A = this chain, B = another copy of it.
């Protein structure tokens, strides 16, 4: 099965504390790295956990609170100084490009590599990246400023041909794509082998939903329904439910409720307020609603689906 996993580089909310870093994650899909958010110090965390700067070709920024993007210009600059020549894709709020460009301008830096910027908007979800294996769709979150999550979703695959039959029935290579596409196969003696015999169901496409920062938001449930892995912010414990609402954040209990309603398989909670040193209460509170819950922690890797 193709590798599909998420490594946490930062689990902190706005003010870094207790050795927790601001938000950043790496999605490793088939040994290619996709970065989600890039808080201050993300480049240090990449080094610490063994991710080479220049293996990252795609960066997705959720919103323009500093704890989600202040590491970006430093990373762009380090890629430049480390001799990068290949294109870097960045998706994020339109104003992010202005923030990047003004800093490159005043440092008189002309990047040695192309930067492709894709602006996101918060009117409706849109697919902002697609390759032959998966696509990334925005999730419209409800925060103090425009903010999107990101849904990494594998594309459906064709049925898989049973390799042993290729040899046994001497199926010539030009027929294989046809069979994968659903065709039956007729043997030289006229006997027809039905497609359902020759092939098996492809694995169910897996999905990872990243939701930070947001007030508890039911409107995302349809879109994230049944995801294999859900990351959801849980800035506060539920006794600060009112504060969470006032600041457009979520409590650990609410994150568990969202995971249950979305029929997610597994939940990671993160974006913890600096007021909490010990995070076990977050996990316990979340598990009252959704058992298969985990705490985001710097350097920890979570698999998407069963591998």
Contact = CB atoms under 8 A, between A and B. Distances in A.
Contacts of A73: 66, 70
B103 A66 contact: yes
B40 A81 contact: no
B81 A14 contact: yes
Contacts of A40: 40-41, 43-44, 70-71, 74
Interface stretch (A27-35, A94-102, A114-122, A223-231): A94-102
Contacts of A108: 144-145
Interface residues of A, number: 35
Interface in A17-55: 17, 21-22, 40-41, 43-44, 47
B78 A15 contact: yes
A130 interface: no
State the oligomeric state as a number of copies: 2
A45 to B, nearest CB: 10
A157 interface: no
A107 B71 contact: no
Contacts of A66: 73-74, 77, 103, 107
Nearest to A66: B77
A82 B107 CA distance: 30
A216 B16 CA distance: 38
A71 B40 CA distance: 7
Interface of A: 14-17, 21-22, 40-41, 43-44, 47, 64-67, 70-71, 73-74, 77-78, 81-82, 93, 95-96, 98-99, 102-103, 106-108, 144-145
Sorted from nearest, which 3 A-B pairs have the closest CB atoms? A64-B106, A40-B74, A95-B106
